[in-house]
Amino acid sequence: MVEKHTSDIGFSEAPVRASEWRRFRRVFFERKLVTFGLVVLVLMVIAAAFAPLLTPYDPYELGDAGESLLQPGGEHLLGTDLLGRDTLSRLIYGARTALMVGFISVFISGFIGVPLGIIAGYFGGVINMVIMRAMDAIMCFPMLLLALLLAAVLREYDVISGIWVVIIALSIAIIPGYARVTHGVTLSIKENEYIMAQRAMGSSNMRVMFRHILPNAFPPLIVLVTMQLGALILAEAGLSFLGIGIDPPGAAWGAMVWDGYRYLANNTALWLSPGIAIALVVFAFNMVGDGLRDALDPRLRGLL
Amino acid sequence: MPSIPGSEAYSSDKEKSMAELLKVENLKTQFHTEGGVVKAVDGISYHIDEREIIGLVGESGCGKSVSQLSVMQLISTPGEIVGGEVIFEGQDLLKYKTHGPEMRSVRGAKIAMIFQEPMTSLNPVLTINQQLTEMLELHLGMSKKVARERAIELLGMVGIPSAHNRIDDYPHQFSGGMRQRVMIAMALSCSPKILIADEPTTALDVTTQAQLLELMKDMVERFKASLVIVTHNLGVVARYAQRIYIMYAGRIVEEGTIKDIFGKPRHPYTIGLLKCIPRLDEEEGRKLVPIEGLPPNLINMPPTCAFLPRCSYKVERCFQEPWPPLKRLHDRHYISCYANTEEKTGEPTER
């Protein structure tokens, strides 16, 4: 009864902009898992940003003779690896790698994929055909396989090194995702009368595409970015597990799992802690992506 | 002499002193669809003088909007302008490239357009300021600050109260009528020579319609622009337009001053249109007479008059010869018809 009353008031009197934001917050924070995901991500970003202050030990410093493969507890909270390096410190530095790969790849691929999608959708015809078929061709390969191949090639020819190999390889592998989503939304946005009105006002195609269509395509893209961040971190872990990730002294979760996997039974913390970190972060990104989709998707308006 | 609303303000000597601003000759626009070629605009010719208000009237799908979009070169595939000339300021606009800089400098700056649906004619993610100043910066090279001042001034002119507060609002914070006012401000922001209003009031309720038409008339007078009102509503043009073109199935079937069209309509289609409009000043009990039948499918049209199946004036010649070109009746009154419609009209259509 009380609830009905308040919602009536909110409906009739709240200004439109405020209620829009309010709806976003309500839907987004309604699910506990989404809130949980957000907290995990915030903590992870803080950990990555302030890694040198938070880590108890230097993640690259080799331990003394007796410090190899220590069990959790004691001075080293999560134990040490074969070379006596502190697992917790490496875990925190691993967050840096993961986030860096994730965010930079998303940015690079978005920077290429989004314009491609808009151009294909806006002009249609032959341009659309060429761009979208090229994207389909890239999509034929499983993302990880393609990234593996690209990373191997980039490394072989010494074009770039270290973490950038992973970043570039993953960026190229996920371009089609952006192009496809942007293409789809562009097709629907360009039918709106304001696009015709803009053209009737003398706007150039570039202006129409990037000033008028692009901002309207943002909601689905934000969701895509969040979802892909999770996938990218997982892929990066996969690549470094396979040994294609970052160069040896650097800390990456996938490589840590690989290091620990040789001691499955006797040193659980060594492989389990980076494993949990990967699972947690991927899960967190997916939850936040889900929450954003629910909150931003106009089709769910009224249902949620 | 029957009195026509609005015609008093329009004196005939003024009309003759005006120069021709835009001349459309034999414009043809076709759409290539899977079902065949749709001749949406099939050779129309019209002109508009400086500071004149003309009406382009016809039912849905008769090509009136397409003809205006063709003038602006805003037809996209599968549509194509296949012929004709659009002479504006001595230049044939159709010779310009669709996306070229010459055409872009005409659109918005010289010829502006207002669309039917105010709810969707503004970009929902940009503020009114962003959208209004964009044109001023683009066409007139104003700085952001000057453009903003001008935008506020324009909003005030179209009757948006406390414009300096509302200018940073988003379109969804405006009502339909307000948005159409913003559209008018936007269209007139660069002082175009011609304003094309494509069904500007169709989506609005009746009281708002009247206000907006009045506003549009005042604004074009103030900006010394010409106005093309595209509508299916004869009532809308009756009050404001000086000359009217009646379109049917992609062609202009009758052209004349407002007195000609409302006082002595001669084309069977115009006569039919006027018979199905209710009037306040008529005796009670007159029945409205609808035009029988449906508008034709524009694919695979016969060479004969497209109105023939619905026409009650048809003569033998109509079946044998192709659609006649516009022929002059007198002064500025033209029709495209073989039949002699004069004797049958008379009483019911006179006001």
Cβ–Cβ under 8 Å, residues B169 and B129? no
Which pLDDT value is given to residue B152? 93
Structure tokens at A268: 């659980």
Residues of A with CB below 8 A from B117's CB? Answer: 193
Rounded distance between C-alpha atoms, residue A285 and residue B259, angstroms: 70
For residue B346, tell me if it sits in a domain: no
Residue B65 CA neighbour count, 13 Å, CB half: 14
What residues have CB less than 8 Å from A212, skipping those under 6 apart? A194, A195, A198, A203, B123, B126
Q: Identify the CATH number of the domain defined by range A18-59+74-300.
A: 1.10.3720.10
- Are both B70 and B185 inside the same structural domain? yes
Cβ–Cβ under 8 Å, residues A168 and A108? yes
Which pLDDT value is given to residue B12? 44
CB contact under 8 A, B126 and A215: yes
Residue with tokens 């924070």: A29
Rg (CA), chain A: 23
Residues of A with CB below 8 A from B109's CB? Answer: 202
Rounded distance between C-alpha atoms, residue B26 and residue B42, angstroms: 8
Nearest to A87 by CA among A243, A269, A282, A249: A269
Which pLDDT value is given to residue A119? 95
Rounded distance between C-alpha atoms, residue A173 and residue A50, angstroms: 30
Mind telling me how many Å the CA of B87 is from chain A's nearest CA? 18
- Are both B288 and B168 inside the same structural domain? no
Neighbours of B5 (CB within 10 A): 13
User: pLDDT at residue B351 above 60?
Assistant: no
Rounded distance between C-alpha atoms, residue A281 and residue A38, angstroms: 10
Residue in B with minimal Cα distance to A192: B120
Residue in A with minimal Cα distance to B139: A202
Q: Which domain holds residue B322?
A: 251-335
Q: How many domains does chain B have?
A: 2
CB contact under 8 A, A197 and B124: no
pLDDT band at A254 (very low <50, low <70, confident <90, very high): confident
Q: With an 8 Å Cβ cutoff, is A202 touching chain B?
A: yes
- Are both B32 and B64 inside the same structural domain? yes
Cβ–Cβ under 8 Å, residues B91 and B58? no
Which pLDDT value is given to residue A260? 79
Which of B75, B76, B77, B121 to mutate to probe the A interface, most A CBs <10 Å?
Answer: B121
- Are both B180 and B264 inside the same structural domain? no
Residues of A with CB below 8 A from B134's CB? Answer: 201, 203, 211
Mind telling me how many Å the CA of B126 is from chain A's nearest CA? 8
Cβ–Cβ under 8 Å, residues A193 and B121? yes
pLDDT band at B343 (very low <50, low <70, confident <90, very high): low
Residue B299 carries which DSSP code? B
List, for residues A109-132, the tens digit of each pLDDT value.
999 999 999 999 999 889 999 999
Q: With an 8 Å Cβ cutoff, is A16 touching chain B?
A: yes
Structure tokens at A31: 């699910």
User: pLDDT at residue A79 above 80?
Assistant: no
Nearest to B112 by CA among A199, A194, A192: A199
Residues of A with CB below 8 A from B77's CB? Answer: 124-125
- Residue type present at position B315: V
List, for residues B135-162, the tens digit of each pLDDT value.
899 889 899 999 999 999 999 989 898 8
Mind telling me how many Å the CA of A264 is from chain B's nearest CA? 54
pLDDT band at B287 (very low <50, low <70, confident <90, very high): confident
- Are both B271 and B323 inside the same structural domain? yes
List, for residues B11-59, the tens digit of each pLDDT value.
444 444 468 899 999 999 999 988 888 888 988 999 999 999 999 998 8
Exposed (0-12), middle (13-18) or buried (19+): which is A129, by Cβ within 10 Å?
exposed
User: Which of residues B195 and A3 earns the better pLDDT score?
Assistant: B195
Which pLDDT value is given to residue B210? 85
User: pLDDT at residue A247 above 60?
Assistant: yes
Rg (CA), chain B: 21
- Residue type present at position A110: G
| Rounded average pLDDT over A265-279 | 83
B226: β partners? B194
User: pLDDT at residue A177 above 60?
Assistant: yes
- Are both B216 and B303 inside the same structural domain? no
Which pLDDT value is given to residue B279? 74
Residue B79 CA neighbour count, 13 Å, CB half: 18
- Are both B52 and B114 inside the same structural domain? yes
Cβ–Cβ under 8 Å, residues B132 and B140? no
Residues of A with CB below 8 A from B120's CB? Answer: 192-194
Nearest to B108 by CA among B180, B186, B22: B186
Which of B69, B110, B125 to mutate to probe the A interface, most A CBs <10 Å?
Answer: B125
What residues have CB less than 8 Å from B270, skipping those under 6 apart? B246, B253, B254, B261
Cβ–Cβ under 8 Å, residues B58 and B253? no
Structure tokens at A153: 């090639």
**Total residues belonging to chain B:** 351
| Rounded average pLDDT over A159-166 | 78
* Per-residue exposure over A104-125, b if at least 16 CB sit within 10 Å of its own CB, e if not: bbbebbbebbbbbbbbbbbbee
Structure tokens at B315: 């003569």
What residues have CB less than 8 Å from A277, skipping those under 6 apart? A91, A94, A95, A253
- Are both B67 and B185 inside the same structural domain? yes
Which pLDDT value is given to residue A133? 95
Which residue in A193, A200, A211 is closest to B108 by CB distance? A200
- Are both B139 and B190 inside the same structural domain? yes
Residue in A with minimal Cα distance to B191: A201
Rounded distance between C-alpha atoms, residue B100 and residue A32, angstroms: 54
Mind telling me how many Å the CA of B105 is from chain A's nearest CA? 6
Which pLDDT value is given to residue A13? 38
For chain A, domain boundaries:
18-59+74-300
State chain A's mean pLDDT as an integer. 82
Which residue in A199, A211, A215 is closest to B74 by CB distance? A199
Percent of chain B's residues with pLDDT above 70 = 92
- Are both B114 and B181 inside the same structural domain? yes
Please give the helix or strand (H or E) that residue B164 lies within, else none.
Answer: helix B163-166
Cβ–Cβ under 8 Å, residues B54 and B228? yes
Which pLDDT value is given to residue A298? 66
User: pLDDT at residue B212 above 50?
Assistant: yes
- CATH number for the domain that contains residue B191: 3.40.50.300
Question: Which of A108-117, B191-200, B216-225 is most confident?
Answer: A108-117
CB contact under 8 A, A194 and B123: yes
Which A positions 210-239 lie with beta carbon below 8 A of chain B? 211-212, 215-216, 218
Which residue in B105, B117, B124 is closest to A202 by CB distance? B105
Residues of A with CB below 8 A from B106's CB? Answer: 202
User: Which of B198, B218, B241 delimits the end of a domain?
Assistant: B241
Rounded distance between C-alpha atoms, residue B70 and residue B62, angstroms: 14
Which pLDDT value is given to residue A209? 92
Q: How far apart are the first and last CA of chain A?
A: 19
B91: β partners? B88
For this complex, say whether ipTM is above 0.90.
no
User: pLDDT at residue A30 above 80?
Assistant: yes
Rounded distance between C-alpha atoms, residue B64 and residue B69, angstroms: 9
For residue B14, tell me if it sits in a domain: no
Mind telling me how many Å the CA of A203 is from chain B's nearest CA? 7
CB contact under 8 A, A193 and B173: no
Which pLDDT value is given to residue B6? 39
Nearest to B87 by CA among B77, B95, B79: B95
State chain B's mean pLDDT as an integer. 84
User: Which of residues A83 and B333 earns the better pLDDT score?
Assistant: B333
Rounded distance between C-alpha atoms, residue B193 and residue B213, angstroms: 18
pLDDT band at B206 (very low <50, low <70, confident <90, very high): confident
For residue B303, tell me if it sits in a domain: yes
Residue A248 CA neighbour count, 13 Å, CB half: 3
CB contact under 8 A, B120 and A212: no
| Rounded average pLDDT over A154-159 | 77
CB contact under 8 A, B99 and A204: yes
Residues of A with CB below 8 A from B116's CB? Answer: 193
| Rounded average pLDDT over B81-106 | 89
Residue with tokens 């995990």: A40
Rounded distance between C-alpha atoms, residue B217 and residue B211, angstroms: 10
Rounded distance between C-alpha atoms, residue A160 and residue A19, angstroms: 49
Residue with tokens 């022929």: B327
For residue B214, tell me if it sits in a domain: yes
- Are both B233 and B258 inside the same structural domain? no
Interface of B with A (CB under 8 A): 72, 74, 77, 99, 104-109, 112-113, 115-117, 120-126, 134-135, 138-139, 170, 172-173, 183, 186-187
- Are both B283 and B156 inside the same structural domain? no
Rounded distance between C-alpha atoms, residue B299 and residue B306, angstroms: 12
Which of A191, A196, A201, A203 to mutate to probe the B interface, most B CBs <10 Å?
Answer: A201
In three-state secondary structure terms, B172 is helix
Lowest mean pLDDT among A13-22, A152-161, A212-221, B209-218: A13-22
Which pLDDT value is given to residue B347? 45
Rounded distance between C-alpha atoms, residue B24 and residue B87, angstroms: 6
